[in-house]
Amino acid sequence: MGSKISSLIANFYLNIMEQKIVKSEIEKGNISAYCRYVDDVYCIVRKNQKKRILKSINNFDPKFLSFTNEVMKNNSLTFLDTEIYIDETSVPEIKIYSK
């Protein structure tokens, strides 16, 4: 990031997008979990709404924002320094992840 206030401005800007798009999708029940750390987002979305929501977020400001997605592989997904996985009883679990 550039200057000392870049992270503050980025956080403020993403918060605007969240208020306009994400909040509405949560209220509609299309997003059941959402958390963001700087520019990394963990989001649980209804399968039939994933493409539409991703397109909506990317259309918020296509010149400056571009979100991608990853899906669970083998019931596991890494997020920051954690691994989120589904255990044998179908319960989501979190453990520390290191490369």
Indicate whether 28 pLDDT > 60: yes
Indicate whether 1 pLDDT > 70: no
Q: What is the pLDDT of residues 84-94, one digit of tens each?
A: 999 889 888 99
Whether residues 61 and 80 fall in one domain: no
Category of 33 on φ-ψ map: left (φ > 0), alpha (ψ -120 to 50) or beta? beta
**Mean pLDDT computed over 16-41:** 94
Q: Would you call 83 helix, strand, or coil by DSSP?
A: strand
Q: Which of 44, 22, 35 is nearest to 80 (CA)?
A: 35
Whether residues 58 and 76 fall in one domain: no
Whether residues 40 and 75 fall in one domain: no
Number of domains in the chain: 2
**Mean pLDDT computed over 36-49:** 90
Indicate whether 38 pLDDT > 90: no
Indicate whether 95 pLDDT > 70: yes
Which uninterrupted H or E stretch holds 35?
Answer: strand 31-37
Whether residues 29 and 14 fall in one domain: yes
Q: Locate 53 and state its tokens.
A: 């929501």
Distance in angstroms (rounded) separating the CA atoms of residues 45 and 48? 8
The pLDDT of residue 98:
83
Whether residues 57 and 40 fall in one domain: yes
Domain around 56? 1-67
Mean predicted lDDT score pLDDT of the chain: 91
CA distances from 19 to 24, 27, 86, 88 (A): 8, 11, 30, 36
Q: Locate 22 and state its tokens.
A: 């994400």
